[in-house]
Amino acid sequence: MENVFIMDHPLIQHKITMLRDENTGTNEFRKIVEEIGELMAYEALRDLPTEMVEVTTPIEKCMAPVISGKKLAIIPVLRAGLGFVNSILALVPSAKVGHIGLYRDPETHEPHDYYCKLPENIDERIAIVVDPMLATGGSACAAVDFIKKKGGKSIKFMCLIAAPEGLERLHREHPDVQIYIGCLDRCLNENAYICPGLGDAGDRIFGTK
Ligand code: PRP
Ligand code: URA
């Protein structure tokens, strides 16, 4: 599928397995999410544009690449997406951070928005939307819809685990969005949770329930 990238790196797979384990506690869970976020962002930012600048080394002058032009916006879907913010800031400290607050209705599984704030000039930035879970795809589609309405044109979506249903929906509604997935799981259950998944990502990152 064009614009869909499923990670097969053993480090990412190993760490996702640790997250799946119900015995992994909040502190460890949060740390591992951050570690995976950094590994995945490294891959998701592979196509950042560069330009050549002149630099003087101790030996001679040369032309060498730097990241150019478009600035990055990291946009976590609250709450669980917050778990990835520091990972990407560690790689690109100059990135700006927007927030999109959504929660799923427990009955209908439809997303409801409660907060949205994006960095200025979103039309000139590469937006990387982060959320550990892509289940029905409702939240991811709502987040991307919102960014596009505000003028966003270049959008990536990064998640730890996706269900085929959510991937299909996000790709169908937004074929221009590049989707980065740590692992593609089997299916959704009757409560629209991902199987085997890792449970409720927000609860596991923040220790709520
Ligand atoms: C989770 C998750 C996604 C959403 C995915 O958030 O972090 O945002 O569900 O499900 P979907 O693809 O079916 O929309 P949740 O709504 O539980 O909110 P929380 O992060 O505040 O716990
Ligand atoms: N949200 C989660 O946190 N986990 C799921 O499996 C589905 C939606």
Q: Per residue in 71-100, pLDDT tens?
A: 899 999 999 999 999 999 999 998 999 999
- Does the structure show a pLDDT above 70 at 5? yes
203 Cα nearest atom in ligand 2: 3
Contacts of 190 (CB under 8 A, 6+ apart): none
Q: Which residues are catalytic?
A: 104, 108, 200, 203
d(CA 53, CA 51): 7
Residue identifier of the C-alpha nearest atom 5 of ligand 2: 193
Residue range 47-63: average pLDDT?
96
Residue 191's H or E segment, with its range, is none
Q: What percent of the chain has pLDDT over 70?
A: 100
Domain parsing of the chain, residue ranges: 4-206
144 Cα to the center of ligand 1, angstroms: 14
d(CA 77, CA 55): 39
Q: Which fold has domain 4-206?
A: Rossmann fold (3.40.50)
Strands 154-162 and 178-184, bridge-based pairing:
parallel
Residue range 122-132: average pLDDT?
97
Q: Where are the alpha helices (DSSP H) in 21-173?
A: 26-44, 85-91, 138-149, 164-173
200, 203, 204, 208, best to mutate for ligand 2 pocket (most atoms within 8 Å of CB): 200
* pTM for this model (two decimals): 0.96
